[in-house]
Chains A and B, each alone.
Chain A
Amino acid sequence: MDTQTDTLNNLGSRILSALKKNVPFVILVFLLILFSFIAPNFMTFGNIRTLVRQISFAGISAVGLMFVMISGGIDLSIGSQIVFSNVLLAIMMADWKLPLSAAIPLIMLVGTALGTINGLLYIKLKIAPLIITLGTSAIYKGFGYIINGSRNIMGFPDSFRWFGQGYVGGIPVPVIVLIIVALIGSFVLTKTYFGRKVFALGGNEEAARLAGVNIDRMKVILFMICGFITSITTILLLSRVFAGQTITGQGLEFDCLTAALLGGVSFKGGEGSIFGLMVGILIIGVLNNAMQLANFPDFSQTVVKGTVLLIAVAFDVYQKRRKSKVIVANTAS
């Protein structure tokens, strides 16, 4: 009898500590329960499907951003990369009449190139990536507007619809792409030695260099990865909207960044997991969706999202501080 209560207690405390480690997950579950009570049409298959599709675009790019963030960098140009590539892809298909089989690989190349530019500027100018990508963000967006010429570009092949609007077995294509990208990302980060180098770079750059890691090459590769993954988002978004506009993708990095921070990716690098990121992205998705269901005006939604970002950052800092307290305790002599 006693042993039974003991195991029960043990189990209880284990669950409790697991919950403590997964605060974002607890928040997500709480929000899901909360909104399913408040809004009766929230917890329906149709709505959840919409919700997940809505957030899958930011979610895919967030995987790329996470690679950069774990290495200690940041990419604020994600949204603007999409603005540029989105318009360019639209022009390729509508104006140049390129077939999908040419336009899609080409735009992936362009997206990767945009990321590469970020990376090269970062290692050559030796300026913080925050500033580099703030600059390139303005540049990419500017070029997007220039080549767009305030048109609404239309006239894509019908087969292009599938990417953003299609379903496979009832699941939206972007969601499937998100799952694939996330699985590959998780595999690379946790199982490969490339992944370890990413963590090493963010954890202690000098130690990584002295351990023989080619720091500069890693940095460029990581921005390339982010650009490449973002080009996938570009394709899906254009297919979803089905018209080339400069508005598409703008500010997407905000959701990516918030999701990453909510999901435990550290701003300082060296920490993060795909699971956490997905929880973060779902929290954003749930909030977005719930606010739309509740008919929140757009501006108030912005306020809420800003608040969530700050809470996420505060949480990141709090975690760090608590951890460093534990560290002090352990190393105290």
Chain B
Amino acid sequence: MNLNEPAAKIRTTYREALRMALREALQRDDRVFLMGEDVGRYGGSYAVSKGLLEEFGEERIRDTPLSESAFVGAGIGAALGGMRPIVEIMTVNFSLLALDQIVNNAATLRHMSGGQLSVPLVIRMATGGGRQLAAQHSHSLEGWYAHIPGLRVLAPATLEDARGMLWTALQDPDPVIIFEHAMLYNLEGNLAADAGAVEIDHAAVRRAGDDVTLITYGGSLGKALQAAEQLADAGIGAEVIDLRTLRPLDSNAILASVKKTHRAVVIDEGWKSVGLSAEVSARIMEGAFYDLDAPVLRVCSREVPIPYAKHMEEAALPQVPAIVQAAREVLHRA
């Protein structure tokens, strides 16, 4: 019997970690409530809010009609009125119907009113492809939202972040959008039993290495780590950075790593053109140009609407071999 046992861990999933975060928020703060399509009776389209209606009641777990613009805007208004709403938009694909409220109201009200108004709203959305749901259900538009001043954009890729980002986001007086990659909901792993809130301002080094920096976020983190394993077998030490916050980007973390390794590959499930990977690449060019031993390469989705057939979808999305190949290229060892 080891008397000095480390902190107890529980075996759980990303989905359950999100649910724990929601329960904690609803329990700790009466102003918090969850609003969205099928979050109550259905238990959440991804089962994240399962059981919450029974536990917290209809006032705090609100099933909405299919009215994205109205209920996102209502979330903004409720936040203005002193509540702490969590609005769940089923997926980023449907968020386009609420873009006006998000971009023209949530993001602007503080600045446009000269600092008078605060919108402490949290919006959660599922995102990403990989489940053969075809073009209209497979978008990765985190880059679009990360483009808008006034918004904070987060991408939890681990169980700790799924558990811990929500509370911190709710404390923020400004609108925060949390993107949950749909392929992560089933991710299983160990989580400290006393896991709680985490900070939301910095990226994290998920694997240390000296030869090349792999920069990614959300659903692509797993692929980047797999690529790093394969590169290690070939004697290449890859450092993997999980961005965690997409707006603001943690430039310090990105640049510190690239200055050490001299080489960078950005992995982003969004499309390459005019996207988040272009922003990261530009920042590296601006901040670490003289440290680069090769141009920054990007591994992104191909410039196509995401197709349905499995092999086509796989060809369209970023995959591990492409990441490994890109890493070899920046090492001039392709």
Do A and B truly interact? Answer: no
Taking beta carbons and an 8 Å cutoff, which residues of A are in contact with B?
none
Taking beta carbons and an 8 Å cutoff, which residues of B are in contact with A?
none
